[in-house]
Amino acid sequence: MSGWTVSNTLSTGEIDTAYRWISTESYWANGLPRAFFERSVANSLCFALRDAAGDLRGFARVVTDRATFAYLCDVFVCASIRGQGAGKALVSAIMEHPELQNLRRWMLGTRDAHGLYARYGFSPLEDPERLMARLDPDIYARLSSQGS
């Protein structure tokens, strides 16, 4: 199928849908509290992938300073349309976005879409020893049990 469109505008209902996908169907943010998702959307450049009928079929966001760095994250495409070019359409639109040109560094994390991202110049880190991360994998469960 073709006819995918990508925009930076999401309705309240589409944000609800994207939240459901990310918090229940993703491997990276399962159990994400709604307030955290809303804050992440408010502080990111977000992208909505729609089909020819205008229905939301994918979502992604970029955390960026719009000058030197961008982190591509929360890339989600509905399972029913994977393999039909939707992911490529979404990532292409992101990489072509005017506010994201001429950045020195892009980063992302993926468990299973290396081939997709390689098409856009992403590659494994050549020098991973130069980067560090701080990860709290149980944060959402802890917050949920605390009622936050």
Identify the band that residue 56 occupies on the pLDDT scale cut at 50, 70 and 90. Answer: very high
Q: Give me the mean pLDDT over the 130-134 stretch.
A: 94
List the chain domain ranges: 5-146
Identify the band that residue 148 occupies on the pLDDT scale cut at 50, 70 and 90. Answer: low
| 5-146: in CATH 3.40.630.30 | yes
What residues are paired with 76 via a beta bridge? 59
Report whether 29 contacts 23 (CB < 8 A).
Answer: yes
Q: pLDDT higher for 86 or 143?
A: 86
Tokens 């009928």 map to which residue? 53
Instruction: Please give the pLDDT value at position 91.
Output: 98
What ranges in 29-75 are assigned the alpha helix state H? 34-42
Tokens (6 digits) for 95 = 């990489």
Q: Give me the mean pLDDT over the 64-74 stretch.
A: 98
Q: Over pLDDT 70: what percentage of the chain?
A: 98
Instruction: Please give the pLDDT value at position 144.
Output: 78
Identify the band that residue 143 occupies on the pLDDT scale cut at 50, 70 and 90. Answer: confident
Expressed in angstroms, the distance from the first to the final Cα of the chain is 42
pLDDT in tens, 83-112: 999 999 999 999 999 999 999 999 999 999
- The average confidence (pLDDT) of the chain is 94
- Closest to 6 in 3D by CA, of 42, 40, 39, 52: 52
DSSP H helix total and E strand total for the chain: 5, 5
Q: Give me the mean pLDDT over the 28-57 stretch.
A: 96
Lowest mean pLDDT among 71-80, 99-108, 129-138: 129-138
**Does pLDDT of 1 surpass 70?**
no
**Does pLDDT of 43 surpass 80?**
yes
